[in-house]
Structures are given as structure tokens and as C-alpha cells.
Structure 1
Amino acid sequence: MFRPSVVFVLLGLCLALFPSATAGQKKTPERPKPRKYRLVWADEFDYKGPPDPRKWGFETGFVRNKELQYYTGRPENVRVEDGMLVIEARREKFRNPEFTNRKDKNWRLNRAFARYTSASLTTRGRADWLYGRIEVRARLPRGRGAWPAIWMLGSNEENANRLADGEIDIMEHVGFEPAAIYGTVHTEAYNDSKGTQRVGRTEIENPAGEFHVYAIEWTPEKLDFLVDGRVYYSFPNERRTRAEWPFDRKFYLKINSAVGGEWAGREGIDDASFPQLFAIDYVRVYQSK
């Protein structure tokens, strides 16, 4: 979710916004679990209302990457309906309660109002895992400026160094590349500040119009990144130091939909695309039998 500083190419034009999060979509028959795994955690979103507080917490405020949205836990921005989790990025004027003054050098504090709102969910403090298969079936938001992400961070509460703990970006997408999906790892040795980040990229059909399954398979030997069961990138454990492979500790999950920022905002924002809807059918975590 913290992005590389390379230049990406516009692949196509944004299409018209779907009128609702679930219109015209039905849940597919439940897939059998992978044979070598057992299901250890899941949210099927087979209820209605706010996300299950036993499983999910929220980030709030202006959080990272100089993104334009203010994250909230309001039902306008995040809810479970029709058997799916819906994260709704909205174009609206929203007061920043942490505002100080416009000259403050902290970008989180010098904005009196946000122009957009959205939501970011996390399992931090509720659930984390070491190794296994993490998969999410989702339909992505459409529109220039959209930046949905499914990602993981190390659970080491004592270490404030994100790179030392590691980051796994299971899925990232930016609206100005309508077909592209990215999977990335960030570590002390491999990161965007050094220009050494390790990133995989693939293109799929209509990620904002159809549901796809985004997953990683994580073992002591490697991280595989998959879309619809197909591995498109692998990151091996080179068995050097933790600077290259910090992925031997538990990680927790985040799911969010950002607006603009240092990557997704490079081609501007299409205000006509709002609300931008990120629909998640299920989240499942498997571990070896």
C-alpha cells in the first residue's frame, strides 16, 4: 500500500460507474477449500449492518500516502449488505477534527476539510497469521483516482519500522490502469525508497465489473501471488537476513479503498465516478493441515 516511485502507463479509459455494489451479481457456488489447507478464519459477510467487530476494526482520519480521503467507520462508507462487505468512497465535504492551521507542515493537520471519505478495515489486535493461503473474492471500484488494496503488515507491536516488519500487498489497483493488478513485497532491503521493491503485475478482464479471487500462498520458502488461482508472481526466501525476508512472523490483514495520493492521484481524479464501490464477497484464511 506504500507505493513504488516508478511511472506507470495508462492502459485504457475508465468505464461507466455501476449503479450499486451488488446489482446484477450473484454469489458463485462456494469453492472447495484447497486440498492441502484447512480453513482457520473467515468472514462470509452473511449478515447485515456494520462489519463484525470481533473480526474488524477501522482506521480513521488522514492516514498515509497523502491520500485525499478521510477514513471513517460510518455506514455511509462501510457496511455489510446483500451478503457482501461494501466499502464506499464518497465525494463529499467532511470536516477534519484534527485540523490545526493551513501552514502546518503535517499534511494530516493542515486540511480543514476532506473532499472525499472512505473506509479502511483491519484485523489488527483481532487476528493474525503465520503462513497459509489468504484469499479475498472482490469486485474493485471503478474510476480514475481509485486505489483499492488488500494487504498485510507485521504484527510486531514493539517495532514502529514498517519495513523491518515487512509488508505484503496481496492486491493493489489504480483506476487509471483499468486492467492491471499488482502484488508487492516491502522489506528493509527491498523497498521503493531504494528503488529495489519487488513487484508483480498482471492484467485481468474487467476487475471493476466482475468478481475475481485475489490470494497469496505463503510458506517459509516463498510468497506466491495469485488471481483466480493463477500464480503471476513469486517472491523467494533467499535465506540471507531479515532485511530480505521478515516474513517469518505473524501478519494481520487490511482492506481499504483510497482516493488519490502519491500513486493513484498521478492521473487526476474523475469526480463523475463517485461513489466508488469496493465489494468483497468473502475473506478466507487457510493454513496447512
Structure 2
Amino acid sequence: MTFDDEFDGPQGAPPQQLRWLHDTGGTGWGDNQLQYYTDDVANAQLDGAGHLAITAHQASQSLPCWYGPCRYTSAKITTRQPQLALFSQGYGHFEARLKMPVGKGLWPAFWLIGENLAWAGTDKAGEIDVMEALGDQPRQVEQHAHGPGLDFGGPTALPPGQSVSDWHVYAINWTPDRIDWQVDGRTTETLTRAEAGNTGWVFDHPFYLALNTAVGGGWPGDPGKMTVFPATMLVDYVRVYEIDERHTATTPAVSEGE
């Protein structure tokens, strides 16, 4: 294990600052999203029962978004921001146990972004979406990978009677030659280096972690009249392991006191 957060702590406490940082703002985040990401505990806090709650609210204060006063607030936490990498890793097993909100326009996710994003750009840095959920399609999980000319993946149906609003373990196994996506230990998608091609395979360097609950945007669309706020994504844990140390490039997690 190279990274682990079980989100133990008192109710109302923020996520550990030695593990997570906040992305903030109301820029639209590349997809005309409607939320303003804050660093307020109202949007990201421990629930006192061993979970992190990332909650989207209807905005009660005047915050500037790309379209005018923001209608929603939420949170996006990562293990990296410019000039400060708390944790990143290339290759390994990455997993989180999650429970998602449902409702049109909600878009929670657990994903990985290339550590070189700031200087390489979005495409060359790469993105691995361990899971995304569209709130109006609660029986489907979206799993993707993106690189130059690469838009891999799609929806995976959960077993009958199950929903993203139930607890599930979402994971990837990532090696130099392939990425396997899993839901509750069942492999659901596979991308090989050969399939991605020399240009599209940009998955040979460390990536950092991200968790967020987005609202609206070109893909999920705007919230509907039946969408209920507050809308909370619960995170039971996030864990990362090395699979084969001969092929792993790791920046260790920062521990207490460092």
C-alpha cells in the first residue's frame, strides 16, 4: 500500500490537509459545469462515521461563475495542485468505496490526472476515470481513459437491482501494458497499450487522485425539477497499492508530521 485514507475523524472536520488539496472556482471546468468549487467544510467534510462527504448545495451566497452568479456550490479535492504534489503514482491498483447521489445533472467522479498537466496540457498528461456517474442513469457506471486522439470507454451496467446510490468498490489495475477497470472486483473494461496506440497511450508517468461532485455541464445537462439538494457523494476509503515494484514510479504519501 502506498496511499490510504479511511476518513476517520470527528464530524465536520475537513479532509486531511496532508493528503488532499482543494481545486476552487466557477470556471465551468472545461464543460460549462454550473458549480463553484469551494474549500468550505459545507462542501467537503468528514461525517464522523468513517466517511468523507462531498456535497453539492444550491448556492446561498453570491459567488462568480462563468455564467453569472453561481447557482450551486460543491467540492473537488485532489492530491496535487500546481507546485505541490502530495501523492502521485504510475502503475498500480487504485480503488475507492463510494456511494453516489442520484438525480438529473449530478456528476460525481473518482479519477486520475497526469502529474505533468501544468506543462504538458490535458491530452498529453492523460486522464483515467476510475468511475463517473450520471445522476439520471443510476444503474450505469462510466469508465474512461483519455489521451491524444484517445477517448476510450463507456457505460457499464450494474447487476439487476443495484444502483450507484449503493456502496460499490471501484478500481483499476494499471500496468505498463494495460488498464483494467473493476466494479466490486469484476473486470468491466480493458484498454491495452496496443489498442491505444503510440500516440494515445500516455500512461507511463505518475498520476494524481481526484474526487468531486460536479453539477451540470454539457454531458449530464442541467439539474431537473426533481433533483434533490443537498446531493452528497460518500467516500468510505481510498487506497492505492503497488502491483509490481519493478514497474512502479511512486511519490510516497505525506504522513503526519512530515
Q: Is the 8 A contact 2:45 2:53 kept in 1?
A: yes
Look up the match of 1:74. 40
Larger radius of gyration: 1
1:230 aligned residue (186, 195, 198)? 186
Deviations 1:183-213 (A, max 9, x none): 10111021xxxxxx21132112433431000
TM-score calculated relative to the size of structure 2: 0.85
Gaps of 5+ in 1: 1-38, 100-107, 191-196
CA distance in 1 between counterparts of 2:77 and 2:102 reads: 20
2:106 aligned residue (139, 142, 146)? 146
Q: Give the counterpart letter for 1:209 in structure 2.
A: S
Q: Secondary structure at the match of 1:238?
A: helix
Q: Secondary structure at the match of 1:55?
A: coil
| CA-CA distance at 1:157 after TM superposition | 5.1
Q: Give the counterpart letter for 1:45 in structure 2.
A: F
Look up the match of 1:199. 153
Look up the match of 2:24. 60
2:119 aligned residue (159, 166, 169)? 159
Whether 2:226 is the aligned partner of 1:275: answer no
CA distance in 1 between counterparts of 2:232 and 2:103 reads: 10
CA distance in 2 between counterparts of 1:145 and 1:151 reads: 19
TM-score calculated relative to the size of structure 1: 0.76
Pick closer, same or farther for the CA change 1:157–1:80 going to 2, 3 Å.
same
Deviations 1:49-78 (A, max 9, x none): 110000000011114111111111111111
Q: Give the counterpart letter for 1:231 in structure 2.
A: T
CA distance in 2 between counterparts of 1:158 and 1:179 reads: 35
Q: Is the 8 A contact 1:143 1:270 kept in 2?
A: no
1:4-153 aligned at under 5 Å gives the runs 39-48=1-10, 49-63=13-27, 64=29, 65-81=31-47, 82-96=49-63, 99=64, 108-111=65-68, 113-124=69-80, 125-153=85-113
CA distance in 2 between counterparts of 1:230 and 1:138 reads: 16
CA distance in 2 between counterparts of 1:280 and 1:256 reads: 10
Deviations 1:195-237 (A, max 9, x none): xx21132112433431000000000110001100001100001
Deviations 1:102-136 (A, max 9, x none): xxxxxx5451x111111001001110001000000
Identity fraction in percent = 37
| CA-CA distance at 1:239 after TM superposition | 8.1
1:287 aligned residue (242, 248, 253)? 242
| CA-CA distance at 1:244 after TM superposition | 1.5
Look up the match of 1:24. none
Q: Is the 8 A contact 1:94 1:116 kept in 2?
A: no
Q: Is the 8 A contact 1:168 1:186 kept in 2?
A: yes
Look up the match of 1:31. none
Structure with greater strand percent: 2
Q: Give the counterpart letter for 2:37 in structure 1.
A: Y
Q: Give the counterpart letter for 1:61 in structure 2.
A: G
CA distance in 1 between counterparts of 2:147 and 2:136 reads: 27
Q: Secondary structure at the match of 1:288?
A: coil
Q: Give the counterpart letter for 2:137 in structure 1.
A: E
Report which stretch shifted further, 54-63 or 197-206: 197-206
Look up the match of 1:218. 174
| CA-CA distance at 1:92 after TM superposition | 2.3
CA distance in 2 between counterparts of 1:68 and 1:258 reads: 8
**Following TM superposition, where does structure 1 have runs of at least 4 consecutive aligned residues deviating by more than 4 angstroms?**
239-242
* Superposition RMSD in Å: 1.8
Equivalenced residue count is: 233
Pick closer, same or farther for the CA change 1:248–1:239 going to 2, 3 Å.
farther
